[in-house]
Homo-oligomer: A and B are copies of this chain.
Amino acid sequence: MTQENAMTNPEDYMPLREVVFMTLRRQILRGELKPGERLMEISLANKLGVSRTPIREAIRMLEHEGLVVMVPRRGAHVAEITRQELNDVLEIRKTLEVLAIQRACANMTDRDIRQLREAEEAFAILVERKDADITALGEADEHFHDIIYQGTNNRRLIQILNNLREQMYRFRVEYLKDIDIRQMLVREHDAIVKALEIRDTEEAVRLVTMHIDNQYRAINKALDERDQEESAKNAK
């Protein structure tokens, strides 16, 4: 999203607010800033070596992204995300991913699809090597889906889907650590590419729907386990 801007813009000047925005965003998505954690302007400003102004503007952006919540006169904190909300997001994503794959199936060039195959293989290789870290895995997965999104030729759709996916990056750590799930992802990606290669829209739609449904189950299972650990810890 923003990388693209930097690419297309020959001069790679970036307002500090953008730098701050990306920094905070990354920290939230990686879980370095935890849900509920307070974002205090002065300490952030000191930590990042800038004044409060760009911090505040970055917070305004994160706020609209849904990653932070503002309480007037009481500052910003990292947005909690309830399971209900997570499932709401997944429901929307399912609908829009179906739309995306339909458009992609109609619009992607053969060259695009070859590129998608490459991305799929790169992801598969990372999964094979057990030593890959979760961030790298997440990025490879992200890249795969990005190519499909680009194939829709619908900028707004791309933007919305990216934003919805983003909400879930925060749970990557929770569910990408399961080896079985990783391998399932690889099989699903492979099947999706195959369907696109022969332009079988219906099959692609079916696979994508399944892909999201599986993700729904995987994430909820991971959260169940985490919650159980939590309550066990609190009980002791």
Contact = CB atoms under 8 A, between A and B. Distances in A.
Given A57-B57, A85-B156, 17 more contacts: A13-B72, A14-B72, A53-B53, A56-B57, A60-B60, A64-B64, A64-B65, A85-B155, A88-B154, A88-B155, A91-B99, A91-B157, A92-B96, A92-B154, A92-B156, A92-B157, A92-B160
SS class of chain A's interface: helix, strand, loop or mixed?
helix
Contacts of A63: 61
Nearest to A154: B88
A13 B92 contact: no
Nearest to A56: B57
A101 to B, nearest CB: 12
A95 interface: yes
Chain A, interface size category, equals 20 to 34
Contacts of A98: 95
The complex is assembled from copies of this chain, and their number is 2
A49 interface: no
Interface of A: 13-15, 17, 53, 56-57, 60-61, 63-66, 72-73, 85, 88-89, 91-92, 95-96, 98-99, 154-157, 160, 164
A63 B60 CA distance: 10
Contacts of A57: 56-57, 60
8 contacts: A13-B72, A53-B53, A56-B57, A64-B65, A88-B156, A88-B157, A91-B99, A91-B154
Contacts of A92: 96, 99, 154, 156-157, 160
A96 B88 CA distance: 12
Contacts of A13: 72-73
Nearest to A163: B160
